[in-house]
Each structure stands twice: as C-alpha cells, then as structure tokens.
C-alpha cells in the first residue's frame, strides 16, 4: 500500500488481494486518515485483483466515517472482478466510483 497526501486529499494506492488476512493494513491506513477534520480520501483499487467481504466492509466503514465527519471517499476501480464485486453489493450506488485516479482527484462541481 502506498499513501500520498496532497492538497488535503489522501490517496491510498492498494494492490494484490484484499481479504480477511490482508484487510488489517487497509483498516490501519484508513484509521490513520484524519476523518475528524473532514478529510478527503481517494482509494485506488486499480491494482487490486481480488476483494472479499472484509475489504467491502472496510470500504463501507471508511465511507461512513468520512461522511459523518463532513469529508468524502472516492474509489478508483478498473479491475473487472473487483468492480463486479463492488457493484454486486451495491457500493457503486453509495460511494463515487471513478475509472482513473485523475478523475477521482478532480474537483467536483458545486451542488454536484
């Protein structure tokens, strides 16, 4: 996992598999993000090859914590299997999905 911070946005770049054995790293990284200050987080899943319910639950918890603190979470999802898993559980209807990191980092329009 690679973490970068720029302009008040934390980018977490993940790779490989996110399952019950490896989700701890993601959970710790998300806990380190200052959600209390309304932090903005982009989670780049473009290099993730597999995700089980542990990863899905971590993403849901991150989204809920950020929303409660006045921040946001955006996901970069381009891998077929991971994208299908997240769509199957309906996460794409709650968390903004983007096909590229640049798209996820772009400012949103007011009232969008």
pLDDT in tens, 18-44: 999 999 999 988 888 765 456 899 999
If you average pLDDT over every residue of the chain, what do you get?
88
Q: What is the mean pLDDT of residues 2-7?
A: 86
Look at residue 72 and give its three-state secondary structure. strand
Res 108: pLDDT: 67
Q: DSSP H helical segments within the chain, as ranges?
A: 23-32, 53-68, 80-88, 101-105
Full-model pTM: 0.88
Residue 17 class from Cβ within 10 Å (0-12 exposed, 13-18 middle, 19+ buried)? middle
């Amino acid at each position: 996992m690679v973490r970068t911070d720029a302009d008040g946005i934390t980018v977490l770049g993940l790779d490989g598999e996110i399952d019950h054995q490896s989700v701890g790293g993601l959970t710790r990284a998300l806990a380190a993000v200052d959600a209390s200050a309304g932090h903005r987080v982009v989670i780049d899943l473009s290099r993730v090859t597999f995700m089980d319910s542990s990863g899905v639950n971590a993403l849901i918890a991150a989204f809920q914590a950020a929303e409660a603190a006045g921040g946001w979470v955006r996901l970069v999802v381009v891998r077929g299997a991971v994208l299908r898993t997240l769509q199957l559980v309906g996460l794409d209807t709650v968390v903004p999905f983007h096909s590229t990191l640049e798209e996820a980092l772009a400012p949103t329009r007011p009232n969008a």
